[in-house]
Chain A
């Protein structure tokens, strides 16, 4: 095992990797941008070094600086987390040629899979079904148009270097293609530095189901079952669960074997995810995510296998210590992504200071977070603040547990997706497990739930009290006791301090 590694990331995933390091007795070196000096990943690491200013291009994307810090501090390996440099073959190669270990797949395998069209060619050869589409990227709009017409609309225009929904557009008719082409290329250039696109048939209403694989450096590959990730908004996953309500044991087995075949064909090492679209009992290869994924905890909860520790063990050269037949799945796990996005305002990014944070706890609840009370949430990085994960004996129990955990969670100062998650947990189609990737579109009134008579009454009383308190605050010279109605308001010692009080009556 390594003695010391560098974590080339921030936020909740950096914290997650540090936790794995601690449990394995590995020293963790963090890096931070100017915006992240006062962050949990910096506090929790054994060492931490600045790598530049707030924009990621000046810090977390500066591969040269990351490698320099790793070498200077005596690290043996670099863990890239997800996002940033995690799936950039050039970075993996640079790490390798600096004499360090990249905790992930070999740069060549990553390059082969990162090019989505090459990935399609590779897995097809291994006998895995892919979504109908072209297997080579095109740079020319007219050619793309021709291919789209051959496939028949709707089609999906995708960045060859894509992932995470960036650089991707659904096109319903020929006249929308030019705008989609431009937008996707621009986004792809910005996100991946590569504007090449390809096109595939847009499958309407599939489920998004992915298989976690673990592959050691000796060619042993196993799978750890599926994650159901169909609750998405604009191609961004919001809720994940394992097992999927849609899979039978036979289908799980077949998908698992296809995933293992795909990973083997690509020469994949370390932890990876093979994504499939699933519809009418059939599954189609979508892509391989050559990294640890945001939603990895649901697999950890049902298998009991620590995936980040597994990444470190594999990268340090250890052969796989689990055989496929030893993998056991127990119970049901759910994850809700708590993002700084305002569900009441079209999920637009929300910024500010987390003024109050009350984290849920109790049986079967896990909180993987990159923020604490007092953290500043800005616009420089991904809006994911934390992940709330629950584990229970079965799906209904997991849903109820998630519901109560979300009710315990209080975040004040930044608008978050918590109300969305609460609404989904209460919604009949989700509860029955009968949903696909169009779930969010198909439930536009999700957030317009009737609060009930009690809550409306409480809201009326609270608003009147708050209005009255505001009115009293606006009377700086009048002692509160002199006001006929404010007789029992208690006020802080100083008028300049924040007001705090209570009204007790009856």
Chain B
């Protein structure tokens, strides 16, 4: 079985053969031990230990099933890694790349709750024009108020919460539609 692996833009070919493992065509010695623990919590993952040509790496790994990527943490660094089966690479990998390229340009900005908490205030309403960095929702968690801000400029198309409401992590709060590139609809200032 051969995998094509994307490590944040750097590509590797990892091939498992009956007689050994090859990375980019060169044989390597590999031993991976996966920890026994596999919890179901929001921050659960796999704790693995890898010996790669004798070099030791302790790796915390979490699979983001929605995006089909692995979030790996090693030596205090985080790496987002996609491993595609080579025979499916042409289809899956290209599509993922295309989606990633497109995602940067289009699509609404969806503000979701970064943690469970209480909505203290909603600072915008549907139809409002917001600047990048403008506060949208004030949320209280861990006794601290957090100002959740817009990452884009655009128009508020939906507000899904109101003050006093408690929300779960990941719950959709506000949707902002970026201005259209081609139309003359982008207002100058709010």
Residues of A whose CB lies within 8 Å of any CB of B are 166, 183, 186-187, 190-191, 234, 342, 344-346, 348-353, 355-356, 379, 382-383, 406-407, 410, 412-415, 418-419, 422-423, 447, 449, 451, 454-471, 484-485, 487-488, 498-506
Residues of B whose CB lies within 8 Å of any CB of A are 1, 3, 5, 7-8, 10, 12, 14, 16-21, 23, 27-39, 41-48, 50, 52, 55, 57-61, 63, 70, 72-79, 81-83, 85, 114-116, 120, 138, 140-146
Residue in A412, A447, A455, A463 whose beta carbon sits within 8 Å of that of B70 in the complex: A463
Contact A351 B5, CB 8 Å, known A455-B77, A460-B12: no
Contact A461 B77, CB 8 Å, known A183-B145, A355-B44, A412-B47: no
Instruction: Check if B43 sits within 8 Å of A505, measured CB to CB.
Output: no
Instruction: Check if B43 sits within 8 Å of A351, measured CB to CB.
Output: yes
Contacts of B48 in A (CB 8 A): 462, 466
Q: How far is the CA of A307 from the CA of B157 in the complex (A)?
A: 56
Q: How far is the CA of A461 from the CA of B12 in the complex (A)?
A: 8
Which residue from chain A places its CB closest to the CB of B148 in the assembled complex?
A346
Instruction: Check if A191 sits within 8 Å of B37, measured CB to CB.
Output: no
Instruction: Check if B114 sits within 8 Å of A346, measured CB to CB.
Output: yes
6 cross-chain CB contacts under 8 A: A166-B143, A413-B41, A459-B74, A462-B32, A466-B46, A500-B34
Contacts of B73 in A (CB 8 A): 419
Q: How far is the CA of A488 from the CA of B20 in the complex (A)?
A: 10
Which residue from chain B places its CB closest to the CB of A191 in the assembled complex?
B143
Contact A462 B116, CB 8 Å, known A468-B16, A469-B34: no
Contacts of B43 in A (CB 8 A): 342, 350-352, 413-415
Q: Do most interface residues of chain B lie in helix, strand or loop, or is the interface mixed?
A: strand
Instruction: Check if A456 sits within 8 Å of B19, measured CB to CB.
Output: no
Contacts of B20 in A (CB 8 A): 505-506
Contact A470 B61, CB 8 Å, known A355-B44, A422-B76: no
Contacts of A500 in B (CB 8 A): 33-36
Instruction: Check if A455 sits within 8 Å of B79, measured CB to CB.
Output: yes
Instruction: Check if A413 sits within 8 Å of B16, measured CB to CB.
Output: no
Q: Which 3 A-B pairs have the closest CB atoms?
A: A422-B76, A352-B41, A505-B20
| B44 CB → nearest A CB, Å | 6
Contact A457 B23, CB 8 Å, known A187-B144, A383-B142, A419-B77: yes
Instruction: Check if A458 sits within 8 Å of B50, measured CB to CB.
Output: yes
Instruction: Check if B75 sits within 8 Å of A503, measured CB to CB.
Output: no
Instruction: Check if A345 sits within 8 Å of B23, measured CB to CB.
Output: no
Residue in B1, B28, B38 whose beta carbon sits within 8 Å of that of A484 in the complex: B1
Instruction: Check if B18 sits within 8 Å of A487, measured CB to CB.
Output: yes
Instruction: Check if A187 sits within 8 Å of B145, measured CB to CB.
Output: yes
Instruction: Check if B50 sits within 8 Å of A461, measured CB to CB.
Output: yes
Contacts of A485 in B (CB 8 A): 1, 16-18
| B46 CB → nearest A CB, Å | 7
